[in-house]
Amino acid sequence: MSIISKHIRNLLKEGKRLDGRGLEDYRKDIKIEYGVSKNAEGSARVRIGNTEVVAGVKMDVGEPYPDVPNKGSITVNVELLPLSNPEFESGPPGIEAIELARAVVDRGIRESDALDFKSLCIKKGEKVWFLLIDVYSFNDDGNLSDAIGLAALAALKDARFPKYDSKEGKIDYKKKTDKKVVLKELPIPVTVLKIDDKFIVDPSLFEEKAMDARLTITTIEDGRICALQKGGEKPLTEDDIDKMVDIAIKKGKELRKLLK
Amino acid sequence: MKKRKDNRRLDEMRKIEAKVGVIKRANGSAMFRIGDTIAVVAVYGPRSLHPKYLQDPERGILRVYYNMMAFSGSGERIRPGPSRRSREVSMVIEKALTSVLDLKEFPGGVVDVFIEIIQSDSGTRCAGICAASLAIADAGFKMKDLISAVALGRIDNDIYVDVTKDEEDIEGMADVPVAYLPSSGKIVLLQCDGFLKKEQLKEILKIGKKVCLEIYKVQQKALKEGYKK
């Protein structure tokens, strides 16, 4: 174990963290900025401390999947850019990025019923909207997962449908309409780390390296869970999970307010 | 006098903005904005290059990765990952940046320059190179000069400075991105898509040089601001 990991563990025994925060405190400066890329149908930048991510939504019209002829769909792509962390490598998304795209963003939005996929239908069996969400890391200073989850939601909130000519079957990307993406829920992912017998949120990079296990818990307004993803090599007990879920519900409420 | 759709004179640039130190984790970083085109660059290195057989014991290696984000273009989503276009743009920027660096300073090492275009309205490689030279300076490399670049165009018989996407899409126009070493006026990147008479090329290079001196001032100011902190 590295010296810094040992130090983090020793501090946690006294209920302290390296930067002086409480165990269940996010960094104070969480900033959400909308409309950061004007060619996107929707976009947002999220900063948690020095951690920074940018999300954008593009829209396209295509044929629905044959098993759901009256529903549109979403595609989520997360890129952990080598620009944001010297340890990230160039190339197609690795397993970490795929996990974030699938388990944090896609599953949260899909399983919470936040989006009414039927509302994305233009003509049953023929034409539906696809929402293409891309999230990029710009600076990794820990807790990219929660930042990415927030940014994807913020970009969806910011999105306006482009003009679609159904006769010609063409989208005019230069003309945005007033039509918004209706989000019935705001599924907020909160990642809770377990280090020894302590639980912390919004980890720094060093804390991420020192962790035993993590659980990303996505909840909606009424406190129901809609997605879970366990990570890290050590096991969790039922009691651990119970405590971590409580933290995620509480923190989820605070973060949800920032999106309203 | 002829005015453009956005009310600029033919020889007038869009508003430019530059800032260094925008990505805390990087050894050097910068943002450069011209009109609605925004480039963000991070520089990492020199660090040792792996696999080892790629190392050059005589001199370091500079690698440039230029990328347009999926949602940055004016049409449909851009498929992520390197394209033939992005690889070519990366290569010409790499050559331009190599001309101001002393790679012998870090034999066996590599410097990576990541250029991300967040939002585009033409001139992305020029914005990218302006930001990249700032980021390299921000990282503290010994440099022969900064690099200032701008995209010019010929539309009918007129020379336009800093063309937009709308202007670039005009049938029969020639698009000429050019990058200079501002102190000596030497050219380190030059490309052209479209017909040009020899005299028009001469004029373009002359106008470009003048315009790039204005960009250079903004770049110098950004570097000074960065060191104030």
Arithmetic mean of pLDDT, A12-40: 96
Arithmetic mean of pLDDT, A130-159: 98
Asked whether the predicted pLDDT for residue B1 surpasses 80, the reply is: no
Residues B11-45 have pLDDT tens digits of 999 999 999 999 999 999 999 999 999 999 999 99
Q: Would you call B127 an interface residue with chain A, using a CB distance cutoff of 8 Å?
A: no
Residues A90-102 have pLDDT tens digits of 999 999 999 999 9
Answer yes or no: do A81 and B114 touch at CB < 8 A: yes
Specify the number of domains making up chain A.
1
Answer yes or no: do A39 and B119 touch at CB < 8 A: yes
- Provide ipTM, 2 decimals: 0.90
**Per-residue confidence (pLDDT) for residue B228, from 0 to 100:** 83
Q: Measure the CA angle with vertex A145, ends A141 and A151; round to 5°.
A: 95
For A183, phi and psi rounded to 5 degrees?
-110, 110
Answer yes or no: do A86 and B77 touch at CB < 8 A: no
Q: Would you call B80 an interface residue with chain A, using a CB distance cutoff of 8 Å?
A: yes
Which CATH number fits the domain that encloses residue A9?
3.30.230.70
In chain A, residues with a C-beta closer than 8 Å to the C-beta of B25 are 50, 84-86, 139-141
Percent of chain B topping pLDDT 90: 95
Determine the residue of chain B that is closest to A60 in CA distance: B76
The CB density around residue A254, as the number of other CB atoms within 10 Å, is 13
Q: Write the residue in B26, B47, B71 that is nearest to A56 by C-beta.
A: B71
Q: Which of A240-254, B44-58, B167-181 shows the lowest mean pLDDT across its residues?
A: B44-58
Q: Would you call B24 an interface residue with chain A, using a CB distance cutoff of 8 Å?
A: yes
Residues B186-205 have pLDDT tens digits of 999 999 999 999 999 999 99
In the predicted model, what is the mean pLDDT of chain B?
96
Exposed e or buried b for every residue in B106-145, given b needs 16+ CB within 10 A?
Answer: bebbbbbbbbbbbbbbbbbbbbbbbbbbbbbbbbebebeb
Q: Would you call B47 an interface residue with chain A, using a CB distance cutoff of 8 Å?
A: yes
Asked whether the predicted pLDDT for residue B229 surpasses 70, the reply is: no
pTM: 0.94
Determine the residue of chain A that is closest to B114 in CA distance: A83
Per the CB < 8 A criterion, the answer to whether A82 and A66 are in contact is: no
Per the CB < 8 A criterion, the answer to whether A96 and A81 are in contact is: no
Residue A156: give the domain boundaries.
3-258
Determine the residue of chain B that is closest to A82 in CA distance: B114
In chain A, residues with a C-beta closer than 8 Å to the C-beta of B38 are 37
Answer yes or no: do A139 and B24 touch at CB < 8 A: yes
Tokens found for residue B115 = 């250029």
Asked whether the predicted pLDDT for residue B180 surpasses 90, the reply is: yes
Q: Would you call A130 an interface residue with chain B, using a CB distance cutoff of 8 Å?
A: no
Of the candidates A146, A153, A173, A147, the one whose C-alpha atom is nearest the C-alpha of residue A162 is A173
For B120, phi and psi rounded to 5 degrees?
-130, 140
The rounded distance, in Å, linking the Cα atoms of A129 and A164 is 10
Answer yes or no: do A40 and B80 touch at CB < 8 A: no
**Per-residue confidence (pLDDT) for residue B3, from 0 to 100:** 86
Asked whether the predicted pLDDT for residue B227 surpasses 90, the reply is: no
Asked whether the predicted pLDDT for residue B211 surpasses 80, the reply is: yes
Portion 17-76 of A in contact with B at CB < 8 A:
36-41, 43, 50, 52, 54, 56-58, 60
Q: Would you call B66 an interface residue with chain A, using a CB distance cutoff of 8 Å?
A: no
Determine the residue of chain A that is closest to B117 in CA distance: A37
The rounded distance, in Å, linking the Cα atoms of A203 and A192 is 8
Asked whether the predicted pLDDT for residue A44 surpasses 90, the reply is: yes
Determine the residue of chain B that is closest to A134 in CA distance: B70
Task: Compute chain B's Rg from CA coordinates.
Answer: 17
Distance to chain B for A96, nearest Cα, Å? 17
CATH topology of domain B16-228: Ribosomal Protein S5; domain 2 (3.30.230)
What ranges do the domains of chain B cover? 16-228
